[in-house]
Amino acid sequence: MSPGWCWKEVLVKQALRDEAAYFWRMHEAKQKFPSPDTLNLTGYLGSIEGDEEIPSELRGLKPGFHHPPSTTDYTVVYVTERAGQRLVLVFDGENVNELAFYFGLVPLAGVLVMLYLVAWIAYRQSRWAVSPIIKLSRAVHALDLENPDAAIFDPNAYRDHPNQEVSALADALYRFAQRINEFVNRERVFTRDASHELRSPLTVIKIAANMLLSEQELSIPMKRSVERIKRSATDMEELVGAFLLLARESEQGLSREPVCVNALVKEEIERASVLLAGKPIDVKSTEDVRLIVDTSEKVLSILIGNLIRNAFSYTDEGRVTVHVGNSFVRIEDSGIGIPKQEVESVFKPFHQGHAKRRGGFGVGLTIVRRLSERFNWPVHIESQPEIGTRVTVTFPVAQIEPMAHTA
């Protein structure tokens, strides 16, 4: 018997009980009331002692339900007895599957189709309503902040959309792109003006300092003061260049070329040597490999130069070692060091630590951190007070060449 028969059997048995009860009630009222005879239900009435009127295969069945062998799964025989007579009802379920298909599966399939159609129409309607938002989001994602084009958010293209929120969103994005464009233009104008207006007076100061230093009658204390002015003007010029570089949104306009880190380290040590001012410091430059980084030489010079100048400024005696290794540059000094709780704070703007030194602006390491994050050059600081500081800059994408050994 198939699993689908279980629920059908309950219904069929109940129907046979009702049919038998109805027949006996009518038979008692009318002795010649005919036995049931329909397409699916056949009734046989005979005596209990001699039931010749009942087919031989159904004779001898006890009262109750029976499932005789049949070509279908739904043949049920129901036997009842009353007043010496036996009623055999045979339900032939040959058409039950067809009836179940037409009155069960077909309506169910129709309901499912209707649900699918409603869902599909709702999906199309929602997609039609949401598609402009998706289009706007893609436009925002593709917006070039260096040259923002407000036309891609043209609100006129969404004026006729029935969803007023879409039109309002497009209009807001259009105005937003226009404001970004104005900001970018102002930033470019400022960068251009700052580059000229700030560097020009610094150049004049440096020239004047050189002229003063050429005077033979200038006393030694005065020469030291003029050298300090010249050094500060140079530092300020470097600082202006770093700020202008960081003000750009991207690296567009920066020249990129293979830069030899080894040579740049030696140049920066030479440039920063004026900070030693006769201090008993042993400066060493060591190298294991020849390190080549594809970047702007100016950018790399600002980053390494700041670290070297920091080491010179905060070391009164001892040593400063700059080591070029496998994909890294390590600057180690025996200076005053940094307390553990201040290591992360040194990257904050205008932080000069527990021992401020003259000539600094407190933004050197801030510039180093911003450049390291921008160009993916991780910077790691280890330091102990009164022992020294070690700063390591890693270059994940760098070309490493062996050192050329001379005989």
Q: Are residues 213 and 268 in the same domain?
A: no
Q: Are residues 193 and 299 in the same domain?
A: no
Q: Which of 250, 275, 301 is the last residue of a domain?
A: 250
What is the full DSSP assignment across 226-255? Answer: HHHHHHHHHHHHHHHHHHHHHTSSSSTT--
137 in a structural domain = no
Residue that wins the pLDDT comparison between 394 and 181: 394
CB atoms within 10 A of CB 109: 11
C-alpha span between 283 and 273 (Å, rounded):
9
Q: Classify burial at 156, counting beta carbons within 10 Å of its beta carbon; exposed 0-12, middle 13-18, buried 19 or more.
A: exposed
Tokens for 272, please give them.
């920063």
Q: Are residues 272 and 383 in the same domain?
A: yes
pLDDT for the residue 359: 47
- Which CATH number characterizes residue 319's domain? 3.30.565.10
Q: Which residue spans within 20-103 are E strands per DSSP?
A: 41-47, 64-66, 76-82, 85-91
Q: Are residues 289 and 356 in the same domain?
A: yes
Residue that wins the pLDDT comparison between 117 and 195: 117
How many domains is the chain built from? 3
Cα 14 to the center of its chain, rounded Å: 63
Contact criterion met (CB below 8 Å) for 332 and 321: yes
Residue 235 has pLDDT above 90, yes or no: no
CB atoms within 10 A of CB 305: 23
Q: Determine what percent of the chain is predicted with pLDDT higher than 90.
A: 18
**Nearest Cα residue to 298 out of 349, 244, 350:** 244
Distance (Å) of CA 271 to CA 210, 231, 274, 305, 405: 16, 10, 7, 8, 27
Residue 149 has pLDDT above 90, yes or no: no
Highest mean pLDDT among 166-175, 206-215, 234-243, 398-407: 206-215
Q: Is the pTM value of this prediction over 0.75?
A: no
Residue 372 has pLDDT above 70, yes or no: yes
216 in a structural domain = yes
122 in a structural domain = no
> Which spans in 282-362 are helix H?
297-313
323 in a structural domain = yes
Tokens for 94, please give them.
């040959």
Mean pLDDT, residues 378-406: 88
- DSSP-derived 3-state class of residue 401: strand
110 in a structural domain = no
pLDDT tens per residue, range 340-356 = 877 777 777 655 555 55
DSSP 8-state class, residue 405: P
Q: Are residues 160 and 78 in the same domain?
A: no
Residue 361: pLDDT band (50, 70, 90) is very low
Q: Are residues 318 and 341 in the same domain?
A: yes
CB atoms within 10 A of CB 178: 13
Q: Which residues pair with 121 in a beta bridge?
A: none
Q: Are residues 40 and 67 in the same domain?
A: yes
Q: Are residues 84 and 177 in the same domain?
A: no
Residue 331: pLDDT band (50, 70, 90) is very high
24 in a structural domain = yes
- DSSP-derived 3-state class of residue 154: coil
Of the candidate ranges 252-256, 261-265, 356-360, the one whose mean pLDDT is the lowest? 356-360
Q: Which of 223, 250, 277 is the last residue of a domain?
A: 250
Distance (Å) of CA 254 to CA 167, 257, 294, 296: 40, 10, 12, 6
C-alpha span between 181 and 151 (Å, rounded):
11
Q: Are residues 329 and 395 in the same domain?
A: yes
131 in a structural domain = no
229 in a structural domain = yes
pLDDT for the residue 214: 85
pLDDT for the residue 104: 61
Q: Are residues 275 and 297 in the same domain?
A: yes
Q: Are residues 172 and 309 in the same domain?
A: no
The overall average pLDDT reported for the chain is 78
Q: Which of 217, 250, 283 is the last residue of a domain?
A: 250
Q: Are residues 268 and 395 in the same domain?
A: yes
Of the candidate ranges 108-117, 282-291, 325-334, the one whose mean pLDDT is the lowest? 108-117
Catalogue the long-range contacts made by 66-73 (C-beta closer than 8 Å, 24 or more residues apart): 67/1, 72/96, 73/1, 73/2, 73/5
Q: What are phi and psi of 82, to 5 degrees?
A: -160, 130
C-alpha span between 60 and 48 (Å, rounded):
9
Residue 65 has pLDDT above 80, yes or no: yes
Domain of residue 222: give its range: 143-250
The answer for 105, left when phi > 0, alpha when psi is -120 to 50, beta otherwise, is: alpha
pLDDT for the residue 4: 47
**Nearest Cα residue to 205 out of 245, 240, 236, 242:** 236
- Token pair 């080894």 is found at 262
Tokens for 61, please give them.
């069945």
Residue 128 has pLDDT above 60, yes or no: no
pLDDT tens per residue, range 276-328 = 877 899 999 999 999 999 988 888 988 999 899 889 988 999 999 999 999 99
CB atoms within 10 A of CB 137: 13
- DSSP-derived 3-state class of residue 49: coil
pLDDT for the residue 175: 80
Contact criterion met (CB below 8 Å) for 280 and 303: no
Residue that wins the pLDDT comparison between 358 and 49: 49
